[in-house]
Amino acid sequence: MIYVSKQLEKTGVDFIHVSGGNTIKRGSSMPAPGTSPAPHAHASEEIRKHVNIPVSTVARINEPWVAEELIANGKTDICMIGRPNLCDSEFVNKAAEGKTDDIRPCIGCGRCLTGIMFGNPISCTVNPSVESDEIKEADEKKKVLVIGAGPAGMETAYVAKKRGHEVILCEKSGEFGGLLRLAAVPIAKQELCKVIKFMARRLRNEGIEVRMNCEVTPEMLAGEFKDYEVVCSTGAVPKEIPPFKVFKQTMTADDVLAGRKYPGRKIVILGGGSVGCETADYLAPLIDDMFPANRDITVIEMTASLMPGEGGAAKSQLTMRLKRKGVKIELNSQVTKVDETTITYEKDGQEYHITDADTLIFAVGYAPNKVETTEERVHFIGDCDKVGTLKDAIAAGHKLAEEL
Ligand code: SF4
């Protein structure tokens, strides 16, 4: 490419854009979440040495400081920024004004691309209003109580306030983020923290009343909040399989990620969805060096594939990492019986027994954390309505707030 670049310069091109990757090596051209910033910058840096026209690079340049460092350190002359501009069309203006904390963070999840590839309109996980950032003022101003400061609740509270409603947000715990806090724990998922930080900051900037460590009771709903529209965004709780809890030590993936419980050394994870695989990645030794104290992890999944809800790049990167770390993966495998010491599963008509495990971790999905009510003023959004993705939760919160 150095040779090609020189030839291009001779023919009079204005600048060289250095990208990389292809569609066969998934996640190389459109890097997966968790990829280091600017993965092609080593190539643009080298090509820059051999031509006298400007050179640009692209990929995971999702914060202004990354672009500034790349240019200051001679890696590139120009930074191409794709997805972060989709996530926040004011990215560059906010950067120029020094309002970097106000930039809506692109987490690199790739759902924008996944949508387009399947013929859907462009969309974004973190930005539910890709086509227009306009928030219309409400004709009738209401009082709105939002219960739960997860992503759905935070989005509702922000948009409702922007529309002119009077908003109070109550959160049972002392922290923003709900289940997103746990989703940010596994390896390569830390960018999710930026979403929590961004959403919480918006609430503060709008002057929204937030009550932490506040569990809303029926008495409060009938009293202080009797004339409020009530938005429940109370999330979901991890499922367990009660008959399998006879095993000597069981816990949920959430218990592990929250640091509430500590698994042993020989671990079986039930469920090869995103949560199961990310928990395996989190617990597995960083290198598979056969050190005797290394954790030994088996993921048992009853379908034929891992992480069905994940985009291609993220799925590919995580699967390769699990294999590199020596995590055992059993697909098409159904756990049929568990007693105190043995986990039995069936695969291809054969029965297998795991007799030396010390911990069984449930990663078998979530159930909505919903209370039954017939009151018309009560609305349910996010996981407490229907368990879904971060994109589903934020989109549901935004849509409801637009309709209030
Ligand atoms: S969908 Fe994900 S990768 Fe695409 S712009 Fe939004 S946050 Fe970034």
pLDDT at 112: 87
Instruction: Please say if the pLDDT value at position 29 is more than 80.
Output: no
| Pocket flag, ligand 1, residue 390 (CB < 6 Å) | no
11 and 150 housed in the same domain: no
Cite the beta strand spans of 165-264 per DSSP E: 166-170, 209-211, 229-232, 236-238, 250-252
pLDDT at 91: 96
Domain assignment present for 203: yes
| Full residue range of the structural domain in which residue 301 is found | 240-364
pLDDT at 312: 81
179 and 292 housed in the same domain: no
pLDDT at 300: 98
283 and 256 housed in the same domain: yes
Domain assignment present for 214: yes
195 and 340 housed in the same domain: no
Number of structural domains found in the chain: 3
pLDDT at 201: 97
Nearest C-alpha neighbor of 401 from the set 210, 129, 218, 178: 129
Which of these ranges, 166-175, 314-323, 347-356, has the smallest mean pLDDT? 314-323
253 and 349 housed in the same domain: yes
Residue 104 is given by DSSP the state: P
Residues 6+ apart with CB under 8 A from 303: 272, 331, 332
Domain assignment present for 194: yes
For residues 217-221, average pLDDT: 93
Domain assignment present for 166: yes
41 and 107 housed in the same domain: yes
| Pocket flag, ligand 1, residue 313 (CB < 6 Å) | no
Q: How far is CA 92 from the centre of its chain?
A: 24
Distance CA 274, CA 179 (A): 14
For residues 161-184, average pLDDT: 97
Instruction: Please say if the pLDDT value at position 132 is more than 80.
Output: no
Residue at a domain's end among 100, 116, 132: 116
291 and 399 housed in the same domain: no
Report the atom number in ligand 1 closest to the C-alpha of 125. 1
Residues 6+ apart with CB under 8 A from 292: none
Determine the residue of 106, 196, 310 to mutate for testing ligand 1's pocket, defined as the one with the most ligand atoms within 8 A of the Cβ atom. Answer: 106
Nearest C-alpha neighbor of 250 from the set 271, 265, 237, 267: 267
Instruction: Please say if the pLDDT value at position 371 is more than 90.
Output: no
CA angle 388, 389, 390 (to 5 degrees): 130
The answer to whether the CB of 375 falls within 8 A of the CB of 360 is no
Closest protein CA for atom 2 of ligand 1 = 109
Any bridge partners for residue 293, and if so which?
none
Compute the distance from residue 87 Cα to the ligand 1 centre, in Å.
6
| Pocket flag, ligand 1, residue 124 (CB < 6 Å) | yes
317 and 248 housed in the same domain: yes
SS3 labels along 134-154? CCCCCCCCCEEEEECCCHHHH
Which pLDDT tens digit goes with each residue over 185-208? 999 999 999 999 999 999 999 999
Compute the distance from residue 86 Cα to the ligand 1 centre, in Å.
7
Any bridge partners for residue 17, and if so which?
56
Which pLDDT tens digit goes with each residue over 252-309? 999 999 999 999 999 999 999 999 999 999 999 888 888 888 999 999 999 999 998 8
pLDDT at 401: 97
pLDDT at 311: 78
Distance CA 109, CA 312 (A): 10
pLDDT at 172: 96
Per-residue confidence band for 391, with pLDDT thresholds at 50, 70 and 90:
very high
Residue at a domain's end among 75, 97, 116: 116
303 and 394 housed in the same domain: no
Compute the distance from residue 197 Cα to the ligand 1 centre, in Å.
17
176 and 228 housed in the same domain: yes
Domain assignment present for 65: yes
Instruction: Please say if the pLDDT value at position 81 is more than 90.
Output: yes
pTM to 2 decimal places:
0.92
Instruction: Please say if the pLDDT value at position 375 is more than 90.
Output: no
Domain assignment present for 224: yes
pLDDT at 63: 95
Compute the distance from residue 177 Cα to the ligand 1 centre, in Å.
18
- Output the six-digit token pair for 398: 């935004």
Residue at a domain's end among 81, 98, 116: 116
Which of these ranges, 65-69, 75-79, 315-319, has the smallest mean pLDDT? 315-319
Indicate the average pLDDT of the chain: 94
Distance CA 241, CA 206 (A): 43
Per-residue confidence band for 385, with pLDDT thresholds at 50, 70 and 90:
very high
359 and 397 housed in the same domain: no
pLDDT at 24: 75
CATH number, position 342: 3.50.50.60
Domain assignment present for 135: no
- Output the six-digit token pair for 204: 């503060």
Which pLDDT tens digit goes with each residue over 41-68? 999 999 999 999 999 999 999 999 999 9
Per-residue confidence band for 370, with pLDDT thresholds at 50, 70 and 90:
confident
Compute the distance from residue 309 Cα to the ligand 1 centre, in Å.
15
| Pocket flag, ligand 1, residue 400 (CB < 6 Å) | no
The answer to whether the CB of 338 falls within 8 A of the CB of 360 is yes
